[in-house]
Amino acid sequence: MLSGQSETHDVICVQNPIRALAMLTREQFDGVFVTANYFREAFEIGKLMQNEQILEGMPDGVAMLESDNTILWGNGRMCEWSGLESVVGVNFYAALGGPEILGPDFCPFHTALATGQGTSSTLKTQDSRFFQVHAAPVREPEGAARHLIITVRDVSREVQEQQKLAAIHQAGMELADLTPEEVYEMPVGDRIELLKCNIIHFTQDLLHYEVAEIRLLDRNTNRLEPLLAVGLDPCAAQRDLFALPQGNGVTGFVASTGKSYLCEDTTEDPLFLAGIQGAKSSLTVPLLLHDAVIGTFNVENTEPRAFGESDLQFLEIFSRDVAAALNTLKLLVAEKAVSVAANVEAIHRAVASPVNEILNEAVNVMERYIGHEPEVVARLQSILRNARDIRQVIQNVGRTLTPGLAHPVAAPVDDRPILRDRRVLVVDADENVRSAANELLYKYACIVETAHNAAEAVRMVRTADSPYDVIISDIQLPDVSGYQLMLRLKEIIQPLPLVLMKGYGYDVGHSITKAREAGLPAWALLSKPFRLEQLLCAVERIIQEPCHNEPSPPARSHTEPNSEPPT
């Protein structure tokens, strides 16, 4: 206690400027005395006090902690999340309701104090909210840090989007999760019910959509027939809808145009017809097979703007799996009229194209996230693996059927064991060429994937789980020449198992000559249209001797202008 001429003052001493800041935020003082040892730190703390209003208005939580995790000071966001008027004196974890620490650092505060370096971790609260926590130690002149500055960011939305990607990862596998015996013995009605149960499971438990409707397009009547409805009003579920842009709601518009439709606020949308009472937003995407609309997938919510661009992207990918599964089911219904082997081959032909489209789309999306969002890239890689698994499941069904039950109708006369399970990438802008190569090589148990252009081919090669055994490419691609693609692939694959295809017409860029000079053997060049035997011999030979013995030219000696294909 100090006495002046007319006033008496209480003096409160604290150990360091951090504690002084905590007291200054809770109580009123007439003045502050700072010893010379702490002058610099006190100056920084003073600046922090001046900016306290900024910290209070931040969307992120900010707190100052003792070494025992007690909060010395917290901004308004921390108080809001904790539900307390003041978080001062409360344990940090207790303020957030005792959240689960998900890592990667399971003791982030202890680590920050022990190492003197900032550290981060993710917390999950009991009400399924996710927070990203960063702890930074406050350096003190007398020795080891004893206080932490904590920033807390609500990442619940990002985590939910990752969970939706995980749902797509599971969907591709489980929509086709039938053993050959189940497929053969199950009646048509049971197959439909099983598929509907799988779709409902993914929609509710994984995609977290409580209201959903799928309709299939009848080409003869243009009517959208109800397949399943979850959470819809009964009258709305049985409503007559046609694939017309007017008078048939958003569903009719999407079916007629083939374009997805995001309705953020139903009260402002003249097209919308409610499926549930009080619906405020909806998302509708077409079910596409070979770029043709076969139906629609619609979800609704009672909250406005409940769906965003990420929901649109995820539902479009999932809907392609649904369309492929529905088409597979349709083909299986025809199994009574033809042999089992013919159906297995037909299923492959029908599913190969949409599966390859899923692969191409996922690879293109992943290219935008590489280097920025590793979690999203990891999920998309899982989508790629699952899409490939769908195709492999269908091939395995054909293989595991006993010879007594099925003999391939168009089975090759001679066996070519070297081609079995070989991975082949076909690069051509012509869908007919891609489909023909896919169908021909499938008969010899090859695993075929396709790309539309050089840029897509490079992405497919870079993201493949295992290397391709053979790459077959047209010499004239939409973006670059086959020779330019060859140069780019040589930077990624050694030796390069490349076969080039050429059609009629003049080779403007002399790509064939340059490819030959760069090491492409004469037998690895096919002229379209080519015979099946020519293709098989070239593929077998490239597998047996993929290394082109001719030396490659010096870098850029034969390159054309703009020779690098986009990656």
How do the pLDDT tens digits run along the chain, 567 residues long? Answer: 444 555 666 767 766 555 565 555 556 555 555 554 554 455 445 545 445 555 666 688 888 898 899 988 888 889 889 999 888 889 999 999 999 999 898 999 999 988 889 999 999 998 889 999 999 998 776 667 788 888 999 998 888 777 777 767 676 667 656 555 555 566 667 777 777 888 888 888 777 889 999 999 998 899 999 988 999 999 999 999 999 999 999 999 999 999 999 999 998 899 999 888 889 999 999 999 888 999 999 999 999 999 988 889 888 988 888 888 887 766 555 444 444 555 556 666 666 677 778 888 888 888 777 777 888 888 888 888 887 777 777 666 655 553 433 333 333 445 688 888 899 999 999 888 888 888 888 888 888 889 999 999 999 898 888 889 999 999 889 989 888 999 999 998 888 899 998 876 666 667 788 888 888 888 888 887 777 888 888 899 998 876 554 444 443 433 444 444 444
Q: Which residues on neighbouring strands pair with residue 281, listed in sequence order?
A: 301
Query: How far is 164 from 318, CA to CA, in rounded Å?
Result: 10
| CA distances, 504 to each of 81, 137, 474 (Å) | 69, 70, 12
Strand 71-74, strand 61-65: pairing: antiparallel
Q: Are 322 and 290 in contact (CB under 8 A)?
A: no
Handedness of CA 306, 312, 314, 316 (dihedral sign): positive
Query: How far is 191 from 210, CA to CA, in rounded Å?
Result: 23
Query: How far is 276 from 264, CA to CA, in rounded Å?
Result: 15
Domain boundaries along the sequence of the chain:
2-154, 160-400, 417-544
| Same fold: 2-154 with 160-400 | yes
Query: Can you read off the two tokens belonging to residue 339?
Result: 């042999």
| CA distances, 558 to each of 546, 547, 562 (Å) | 22, 20, 12
pLDDT at 411: 39
pLDDT at 36: 46
pLDDT at 217: 93
φ, ψ (nearest 5 deg) of residue 529: -80, 140
φ, ψ (nearest 5 deg) of residue 120: -130, 155
- DSSP H or E run through 249: helix 249-257
- DSSP H or E run through 324: helix 309-333
Closest CA to 522 of 506, 543, 539, 499: 499
Query: How far is 215 from 224, CA to CA, in rounded Å?
Result: 5
Assign domain 417-544 to its CATH architecture: 3-Layer(aba) Sandwich (3.40)
Assign domain 160-400 to its CATH architecture: 2-Layer Sandwich (3.30)
pLDDT at 332: 53
pTM equals 0.40
CATH topology of domain 2-154: Beta-Lactamase (3.30.450)
Handedness of CA 243, 244, 249, 255 (dihedral sign): positive
Contacts 24+ apart (CB under 8 A), 524-531: 524/498, 524/499, 524/500, 524/548, 525/499, 525/500, 525/501, 526/499, 526/500, 526/501, 526/502, 527/501, 527/502, 527/503, 528/433, 528/501, 528/502, 528/503, 528/504, 530/501
